[in-house]
């Protein structure tokens, strides 16, 4: 076993008022303290494994009910109610006809999102506890944590934390005298953004190419290794222990009625204090960007914000007051996604930014569905042409005509995700595209987002 990496990272995890009743600290407890991952610290300082002991005294169904009461919605991107997802698993817990699995999605690859990394670095035991409770609630036989391959040092840390949990009797055979056997295995990915999609992740977990599957059957019926499976994001599972500690009804009071609880927002781009901020859902975006992240770092006004990781359509100035919860952001034409806020100032050329984003999707498309595989590449080529001063006015109609032919026509949402930034940039910053075509140069001079030394 390699030594645990103890390199501090420069992220900001806190702000004045964090940890008070208004801004409860449920997920980022002890973030920034590199000793915090130890079982001892977790048990002594952060009420570690208290929720598990309580959960094991409850009926599994009661735990699922508690999750439903809490109203927590999946933190991975789609915002699907977690309790409901858990209740889709087959209920024959008595005769154990099926082998059930719980999978934790730690394939954090969405540009602008870096929250799971903080949980794995500082609070791995909270995730482990959440996974044991989830395993109990659905009577699973095994839990898997799928982590992206680049996080090698976090995998080593998680393995060490799992061993601590096994030694303490929280994992293994006959856990806490309940007669229930359960263990958690770590699986290392190998660099594919698409494996963040749940069925692609399951394929990858089985040792195959990470290509999304046709749904139905949904994973709750036929998931990993052909057995009923639930896939949850790291942040969702890490929220389970606090929910059980404080009670579902109490947790539901945080945030807004239909978007309960806290979530970790990652602010990146042109801001003074980029970092991770855990806030109740429904916190206004301008408060997060201007008050907590300190506003623009360049002295120029912020022109556009992507509110939920790179897949979310951009917001321009008139939507900066949007409360960050799943429903409101969706009503305003974007999506809350994975909670990564990317801020761009006035000097950012939107053609370059869009090209950079689309290049990512063209590169990461798994190649299974034609609309996404071809469409993303065509969008990239057309944008490249515009960026390099060879664009034509009809290219804009071509781009606008491409997106409805990709969106909702693929097995997984990667194609839709590519359309989000494309459509919104074209709608909100069309003048920059037109300027590029007519003047053959950027409207907003002063940014250079693309390299001159050859792409992938």
Partner 1 sequence: MNHPLPPETSNEPMAPGQRLPESDRKEFSPEALAEIQALMVKFPDKLAATLPALHIAQREFGFVSLSAMKAVAKAIGIPEGHVFGVATFYTMYQKAPVGKFHLQVCTNISCALRGAAQLLEKVCEKTGVKPGQGPSADGMWSVEEVECLAGCGSGPCVQVNHDVYDEFVDEKKLIEVMEACKRGDYRPWAH
Find the binding residues for partner 1 in span 280-309 (CB under 8 A): 306
User: Does the protein bind partner 1 through residue 117 (CB under 8 A)?
Assistant: yes
Choice from 24, 74, 83, 189 touching partner 1 (CB under 8 A): 189
Per DSSP (E only), the strands in 229-351 are 229-233, 255-256, 259-260, 262-269, 275-280, 283-284, 302-306, 315-316, 323-324, 340-345
Nearest residue to 240 (alpha-carbon basis) of 80, 139, 336, 128: 128
Residue corresponding to tokens 């003047």: 439
CB of 383 to partner 1, least distance (A): 14
Q: Are strands 275-280 and 262-269 parallel, antiparallel or unpaired?
A: antiparallel
| Residue 103, beta-bridge partner list | 144, 231
Q: According to CB under 8 A, which one of 73, 86, 102, 110 is a site residue for partner 1?
A: 110
Is position 429 an interface residue for partner 1 (rule: CB under 8 A)? no
Q: Which of these segments, 53-61, 168-176, 248-256, 340-348, binds partner 1 (CB under 8 A)? A: 340-348
**Mask of contacts with partner 1, 50-89, x by CB under 8 A?**
----------------------------------------
Nearer to partner 1, 119 or 322 (CB): 119
What minimum distance in Å lies between the beta carbon of 334 and partner 1?
A: 16
Question: Under rule CB under 8 A, how many of the chain's residues touch partner 1?
Answer: 73
Among 51, 137, 162, 205, binds partner 1 (CB under 8 A): 205
- Interacting residue with partner 1 among 40, 96, 208, 388 (CB under 8 A): 208
Tell me the backbone φ, ψ of residue 280, rounded to 5 degrees: -65, 145
Number of alpha carbons in the 13 Å side-chain half-sphere of residue 344: 25
Indicate which single residue of 57, 61, 96, 225 sits in contact with partner 1 (rule: CB under 8 A): 225
- Of 52, 66, 108, 130, which one interacts with partner 1 (CB under 8 A)? 108
207 is a contact residue toward partner 1 (CB under 8 A): yes
Give the list of residues 6+ apart from residue 213 with CB closer than 8 angstroms, or none.
Answer: 199, 200, 202, 203, 411
Residue of 15, 49, 193, 326 interacting with partner 1 (CB under 8 A): 193
Tally Cβ neighbours within 10 Å of residue 76: 25
Taking the complex as a whole, the smallest distance from the CB of residue 367 to partner 1 amounts, in Å, to 5
Stretch that binds partner 1, among 67-75, 143-151, 329-337, 430-438 (CB under 8 A): 143-151
Stretch that binds partner 1, among 131-139, 317-325, 336-344, 382-390 (CB under 8 A): 336-344
Among 266, 313, 339, 415, binds partner 1 (CB under 8 A): 266
Q: Is 320 in the site for partner 1 (CB under 8 A)?
A: no
Q: Count Cβ atoms within 10 A of the Cβ of residue 141 and give its class: 0-12 exposed, 13-18 middle, 19 or more buried.
A: middle
Q: How far apart are CA 12 and CA 306, in angstroms?
A: 20
SS3 251: helix
Q: Per DSSP, which regions of 123-247 are E strands?
A: 142-147, 183-188, 229-233
- Token pair listed for 99: 């082998």
Q: Are 257 and 131 in contact (CB under 8 A)?
A: no
């Amino acid at each position: 076993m390699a030594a645990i990496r103890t390199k501090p990272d420069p992220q900001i995890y806190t702000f004045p008022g964090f940890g008070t009743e208004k801004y409860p600290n449920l997920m980022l407890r002890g973030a920034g303290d590199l000793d915090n991952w130890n079982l001892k610290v977790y048990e002594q300082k952060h009420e570690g494994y208290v929720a598990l002991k309580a959960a094991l005294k409850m009926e599994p169904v009661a735990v699922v009910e508690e999750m439903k009461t809490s109203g927590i919605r999946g933190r991975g991107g789609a915002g699907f109610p977690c309790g409901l997802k858990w209740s889709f698993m087959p209920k024959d817990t008595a005769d154990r006809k099926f082998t059930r699995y719980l999978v934790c999605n730690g394939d954090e690859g969405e540009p602008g999102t870096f929250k799971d990394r903080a949980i794995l670095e500082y609070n791995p035991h909270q995730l482990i506890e959440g996974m044991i409770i989830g395993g109990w609630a659905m009577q699973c036989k095994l839990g898997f944590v799928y982590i992206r391959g680049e996080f090698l040092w976090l995998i080593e840390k998680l393995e060490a934390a799992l061993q601590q949990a096994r030694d303490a009797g929280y994992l293994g055979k006959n856990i806490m005298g309940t007669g229930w056997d359960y263990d958690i295995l770590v699986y290392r990915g190998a660099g594919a953004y698409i494996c963040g999609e749940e069925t692609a992740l399951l394929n990858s977990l089985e040792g195959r190419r990470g290509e999304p599957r046709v749904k139905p059957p949904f994973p709750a019926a036929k998931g990993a290794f052909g057995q009923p499976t639930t896939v949850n994001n790291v942040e969702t599972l890490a929220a389970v222990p606090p929910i059980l500690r404080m009670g579902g009804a109490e947790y539901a009071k945080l945030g807004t009625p239909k978007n309960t609880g806290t979530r970790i927002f990652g602010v990146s781009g042109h801001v003074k204090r980029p970092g991770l901020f855990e806030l109740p859902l429904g916190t206004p975006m301008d408060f997060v960007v201007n008050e907590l992240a300190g506003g623009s770092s360049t002295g120029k006004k912020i022109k556009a914000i992507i509110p939920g990781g790179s897949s979310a359509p951009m917001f321009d100035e008139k939507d900066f007051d949007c409360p960050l919860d799943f429903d409101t952001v969706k009503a305003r034409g974007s999506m809350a996604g994975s909670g990564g806020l990317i801020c761009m100032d006035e000097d950012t050329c939107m053609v370059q930014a869009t090209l950079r984003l689309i290049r990512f999707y063209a590169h990461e498309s798994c190649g299974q569905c034609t609309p996404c595989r071809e469409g993303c590449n065509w969008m990239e080529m057309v944008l490249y042409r515009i960026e390099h001063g060879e664009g034509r006015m009809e290219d804009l109609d071509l781009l606008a005509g491409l997106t409805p032919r990709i969106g909702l026509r693929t097995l997984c949402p990667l194609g839709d995700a590519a359309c989000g930034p494309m459509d919104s940039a074209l709608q909100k910053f069309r003048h920059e595209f037109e300027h590029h075509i007519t003047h053959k140069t950027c409207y907003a001079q002063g940014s250079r987002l693309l390299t001159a030394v050859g792409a992938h």
